[in-house]
Structure 1
Amino acid sequence: MADPKGFMTTPRQDWPRRPVEERVRDWDEVYAPGALLPIVSKQADRCMDCGVPFCHDACPLGNLIPEWNDLVSREDWRAASDRLHATNNFPEFTGRLCPAPCEAGCVLAINQPAVTIKNVEVAIADRAWAEGFAPPNPPDRLSGKTVAVIGSGPTGLAAAQQLTRAGHTVAVYEKDDRIGGLMRYGIPAFKMEKHHLDRRIEQMIAEGTRFRTGTAVGRDVGAAELRARYDAVVIATGATAWRELPVPGRELAGIHQAMEYLPLANRVCEGDLEVSPMSAAGLHVVIVGGGDTGADCLGTAVREGAASVTQLDIYAQPGADRDEDTDPWPTYPKIYRLSAAHEEARDLRSAPAADADARLFAASTLRFTGDEDGRVRSLHLVEVDARRRPVAGSGRELPVDLVLLALGFSGPDRADGLVDQLGLTLEPRGTIARDRDFATNVPGVFAAGDAARGQSLIVWAIAEGRAVAAAVDRRLSGGSRLPAPISPYDRPMSV
């Protein structure tokens, strides 16, 4: 604990964002370059080095947060990087994309603003790359065992890196043309620029991990054939079966899933396309769904030059403070949060029909209506109460040219045939069933991440990847020294 009074003398200060008018004209990350390092050491001083650090339990990775806070406050960046990478393969991803449940569990957050744990984390990760503290770490010797990892999102990449470093020969199969899964084509560049992803992939290649892009297991290569070729298979395909909105008019042109829209915008940033064929430029856009994916669509549509953008959230607007009855500390509270995208929509007045930040809360879609050419032109909605019952006389109609559905995901997509070809058992909710060792009903086949857990956070995805790697290593080697931060049955802290 470098400064015993830091939490009393230093107020919380977050990494400042670039001005809205500047950042919406490009796809660069929203944060001001170089503005974090001057403040981060003093922010790390606010950590109280608690006797029982609940931030550990709030983070499924078990990050050693007080330890690397202390090291950053002393500006010992190499040691801080070592402690951070001891529990997290990809801190530059989580430091940008995780909603930071660790901060909700910070003891200081009982009666003060929490330590800026997420900012400290990303500062360490970026400094590690800048100073060469994250070199490739290939194994000393090979085990002679082979593993196929299906899917290259955070779970697949974490599992592959851990297993490669343990000495196994690992090949990652990805159906898209580039590695990264949702981080590549689902997360907009203004939240995480893709050079962070490319740098880790280069590290993994140098360590010995092999990548097979443009290969959908079940379609381009048979799932049973792959199983016969490798000593073990890890399924980490994510939960890509999107939820639908079964209301009248859903068949109209101009209504798309968020994950049909976002990858095209990312491909423009990658240089594959000059303009997205689904661009929101000049259109009235309505996003159905109040979560992070909806916010990603919001920020993307604003940058594409939409005429207006409105986001519908079926839940009532939460309050600014934690409700101690429903979300007591140290659980992750449902409070009002203003993401970068909502800040942009607010300042640019992108949704004149909505509240200040482009969101309409407690709003349920009733139907769509279109023109004579079969294109959507109106969305009809109604206000709902806490039990999602329509409020009489609250019906509204919004003009719309493009509707984006961001309603979440239910489990792995079965279209490629992977699940059926292997004969995998599924849970009633559509996820892949597994036992306490992450093993499926098919010998030698393991399942991890959103494909088995269901839609979750990036920290849970990486924790699953690390844990399934330990399970596979035990099967192949008879034992394992790899860390297993969670079990398949662990869940976030709740009341």
Structure 2
Amino acid sequence: MGKPTGFIEYLRELPSELQPDSRIGNWDEFHLPMPEEKLQTQAARCMDCGTPFCHTGTMLKGMASGCPINNLIPEWNDLIYRGRWREALDRLHKTNNFPEFTGRVCPAPCEGSCVLGIHNPPVTIKNIECSIIDKGWEEGWVEPEPPTKRTGKKVAIIGSGPAGLCAAAQLNKAGHWITVFEREDRPGGLLMYGIPNMKLDKKQVVQRRLDQLEQEGVKFICNTEVGKDFPTENLLKEFDAVVLCTGATKPRDLPIEGRDLKGIHFAMDFLTANTKALLDNSKNGNFISAEGKDVVIIGGGDTGTDCVGTSLRHGCKTLAQLEIMPQPPLERAPDNPWPEWPKIYRMDYGQEEAAAKFGADPRSYLTTATKFEGDEKGHVKAVHTVTIEWQKNEQGRFIPSPVPGTEKVIPAQLVLLAMGFLGPEQPLLDALGLERNARSNIKADYGKYATSIPGVFAAGDCRRGQSLVVWAFNEGRGAARECDRYLMGSTDLPG
């Protein structure tokens, strides 16, 4: 694919970005567009590799290898190299309903399994994907495409995050009437409120897709929590099928001494309130502010990084991030071979910005909090930490063990808990009487998505647990296919 010798002739090149110390002054996206000729050069690096692992979408050692939605990556790389952008967009939309979302926030497991990556830096797949769809919008190629006929079937989708939106888009294409229930004041779920604006612009990127779905016939009902504002028992009375896409929104807590002090918040509460205030142009302080504070973020991953970037934009005084896991190696370890996702040391955008402002990566590895210390007013003022080492217990499981003499005290007036999620919230699942697995997720087989109640399907994090946006796309599309099969006896929807 692409130019036969392109991978030999051209080096990997990413688009320019605004400098970290300048971009933290606003909430705008900071990636700059790459000229078309450079994008064609980057697409030319795609090898005629025979077996393109980039779009295999498999799980290796619990992590994605290749694209979970099986994007036709070599095909649209070849088309971009030849300047055939409109055809590349058509190829992209065959497998991906919203490539502008994955092109911005996906960690790109496709690049981790790129064959060229065995011996050279991989193809810039993610940037090319994002550039294709952005050009599609600029040229007016992305237009509402309502179905030509309706089946008369009505489907309720609970949750408007990435899985819910993909399920809605696909089932609407099949001709069903789709109603999406969302408990927040705006649709979009994680895409709207869980990811900060500088990573994924809400008004320019997310909202235009929501508008398109509405123009195609999808109905969004916001400020409505099923089971509270809409009776659970009415779901199967008023709708022919239901798809649950509620996410895994129950955060992991840290029940140590001082947890009840003021100023300690879950990361998603911090991020959601900030984006709401930004979208509402609210300057009344109705959000959790890091301005002028010593901030400690406990936990890594994308959510921790987003807390870093948001705190910096608020104007925090200092910032520290605690990671209980060891620092990854600079290069693949022998037990992490291609095409597995490369578990190597990286600085994401938030850490880059913190290093620019404070002089170093804010993360402290193999470190955990042992106690929150408060002031006389009951507000957190410090976090007590200790270095740990991972040791096997009697059952052969690795557990963290404190290292004596490594205790520290870090000043903190704001602590953000970003330690992941334990599964979906349970009240709606209890009300429906759904079977769950040992991890409290909805019990539904992958590939079938059918729950213990006929006509009720589950997709995304509420079924598989906390995962990537692109896996939510995979499951939303798959659940739509199986829901359509249930309603019509057969289906033409792809997975």
Name the residue aligned to 1:401: 413
Superposed CA offset, 1:328-363 (max 9, x none): 11011211111111101001117xxxxx21111111
| Residue 39 of structure 1: aligned partner | 38
Q: Which residue of 1 aligns with 2:79?
A: 71
2:306 aligns with 296
Cα distance in structure 1, aligned partners of 2:346 and 2:39: 22
- The separation in 2 between residues aligned to 1:482 and 1:11, in whole angstroms, is 39
Equivalent residues in 2 for 1:304-453, closer than 5 Å: 304-325=314-335, 327-349=336-358, 356-387=360-391, 388-414=400-426, 417-435=427-445, 436-453=447-464
User: 2:76 is paired with a residue of what secondary structure?
Assistant: helix
Structure 2 residue identity aligned to 1:307: K
Cα deviation per residue 1:149-198 (whole Å; 9 max; x = unaligned)?
00000100000000001100101110001010011111000001012111
Aligned partners of 2:412 and 2:205: how far apart in 1? 36
| 2:277 partner SS | helix
Residue 19 of structure 2 corresponds to 19
What is residue 99 of structure 1 aligned with on the other side? 107
Q: Distance in 2 between matches of 1:452 and 1:272?
A: 35
What whole-Å deviation, never above 9, does each CA across 1:197-216 have from its counterpart, x for those lacking one?
A: 11111111111111111110
Alignment deviations for residues 99-124 of structure 1 (CA, whole Å, 9 cap, x no partner): 00000000000011010000000000
Of 121, 124, 137, the residue aligned with 1:116 is 124
Distance (whole Å) between structure 1 residues aligned to residue 384 and residue 38 of structure 2? 47
Aligned residue for 1:369, secondary structure, equals strand
Does the C-alpha gap of structure 1 residues 308 and 276 become closer, same or farther in structure 2, counting only changes over 3 Å? Answer: farther
Residues of 1 paired with 2:35 and 2:237: CA distance? 49
Question: Mean alpha-carbon deviation: is it higher for 228-237 or for 18-27?
Answer: 18-27
Confirm or deny: 8 A CA contact 1:36 1:123 kept in the other structure.
Answer: no
Which ranges of structure 1 fall in alignment gaps of 5 or more residues?
Answer: 351-355, 485-495
Matching residue's letter, 1:358? P
Deviations 1:457-492 (A, max 9, x none): 0110001000000000000011011111xxxxxxxx
Corresponding letter in the other structure for 2:488: S
**Across the two proteins, how many residue pairs are aligned to each other?**
475
- Tell me the amino acid that sits aligned with residue 455 of structure 2: G
Distance 1:207 1:49, change over 3 A: farther
Displacement after TM superposition at 1:37 (Å): 3.8
Corresponding residue for 2:394? none
> Could you list the per-position Cα deviations for residues 418-446 of structure 1 after superposition, in whole angstroms to 9, with x for gaps in the alignment?
11111111111111111352111111111
Secondary structure of the structure 1 residue equivalent to 2:89: helix
For residues 209 and 77 of structure 1, what CA distance do their matches in structure 2 show?
28
The one-character-per-residue Cα deviations of 1:365-420 (angstroms, maximum 9, x if unpaired) are 11111111111111011111133211121111100000000011111112xx3111
| Residue type at the aligned position of 2:84 | D
Q: 1:1-58 CA distances to partner (integer Å, 9 max, x unpaired)?
A: 33111111111111221012221110001212x3354521111110003210000111
What displacement does 1:272 show? Answer: 4.7
**Letter of the 2:322 counterpart:** L
> Which of 159, 163, 181 lines up with 1:155 in the alignment?
163
> Do 2:277 and 2:287's aligned partners in 1 also have CA atoms closer than 8 Å?
no
- Secondary structure of the 2:214 match is helix
CA RMSD of aligned residues (A): 1.1
Amino acid at match of 1:40: L
Which position in structure 2 is the counterpart of 1:280? 290
2:491 paired residue number: 480
**Counterpart Cα distance in 1 of 2:35 and 2:195:** 22
Structure 1: distance between partners of 2:211 and 2:48: 35
1:215 aligns with one of 214, 217, 224: 224
Preserved contact between residue 316 and residue 386 of structure 1 (Cα < 8 Å): no
- What SS does the corresponding residue of 1:137 show, helix, strand or coil? coil
* 3-state SS, counterpart of residue 162 of structure 1: helix
DSSP-derived class of the 2:390 partner? coil
> TM-score, structure 1 length as denominator?
0.94
How much identity, in percent, do the aligned residues show? Answer: 49
Q: Which deviates the most, 115-124 or 420-429?
A: 420-429
Q: What is the one-letter code of the residue matched to 1:14? A: L
**1:248-263 map, 5 Å:** 248-263=257-272
Structure 2 counterpart of 1:146: 154
Alpha-carbon distance between aligned partners in 1 of 2:249 and 2:338, rounded to the nearest angstrom:
32
3-state DSSP of counterpart to 2:423: coil
The answer on whether the counterparts of 2:270 and 2:287 sit within 8 Å (CA) in structure 1 is no
Asked whether the 8 Å contact 1:16–1:36 carries over to 2, the reply is no
* Partner Cα separation in structure 1 for residue 296 and residue 254 of structure 2: 14
The counterpart of 1:463, out of the listed 465, 474, 480, is 474
Is 1:244 the counterpart of 2:256? The answer is no
TM-score relative to the length of structure 2: 0.94
Pairing partner for 1:182 from 168, 187, 190: 190
Q: Is the 8 Å Cα contact of residues 389 and 401 (structure 2) preserved in structure 1?
A: yes
Gaps of 5+ in 2: 57-65, 392-399
Amino acid at match of 1:399: P
Partner SS for 1:404: strand
Aligned counterparts of 1:2 and 1:316: Cα–Cα separation in 2: 39
Q: 1:202 to 1:23 in 2, by over 3 A?
A: same
Alpha-carbon offset, residue 73 of structure 1: 0.9
**1:271 Cα offset (Å):** 2.2
